[in-house]
Amino acid sequence: MNASTPIDLGHYVRKNEALDSITAHSNVFLLYTSLAFSIAVAAFALTISIWLTRYRQLLSKTGMTIHEHIKKRHEAHRAMMEWRLPALIEMLPIVVLLALLVFAAFIW
């Protein structure tokens, strides 16, 4: 056998029609689950980025008194704590790892 000789994979792999259908469906499910996790993380990270940019712009506005700045910052901070934004931001890498594990299961 040399490099130009085609390899007959049928010789190495046994076919089982029932298993092939189940495997195909589970692989498609794993692939789309991984894709859904990845898209959700990307969308959520983009939303957080936009919110933090607006938060920074709000704090750097000129023409406001110190009391207005303090009030706006307190409102924004309270909203951030109500939405549990720090905890949600900390969850993003975990969800990305979950998406990678699901994708690895698809490849496996």
Residue spans of the domains in the chain: they are 16-107
Q: Give the pLDDT confidence score for residue 77 in this predicted structure.
A: 86
Q: Give the span between the Cα atoms of 61 and 29, in whole angstroms.
A: 48
Taking residue 37's Cβ as centre, other Cβ atoms within 10 Å add up to 19
pTM: 0.60
Pair 88, 41: CB distance under 8 Å: no
Pair 103, 34: CB distance under 8 Å: yes
Q: Higher pLDDT residue, 39 or 66?
A: 39
Q: Give the span between the Cα atoms of 73 and 60, in whole angstroms.
A: 10
Q: Give the pLDDT confidence score for residue 14 in this predicted structure.
A: 58
Q: Give the span between the Cα atoms of 29 and 36, in whole angstroms.
A: 10
Q: Give the pLDDT confidence score for residue 46 in this predicted structure.
A: 93
**Does pLDDT of 108 surpass 60?**
yes
Pair 34, 75: CB distance under 8 Å: no
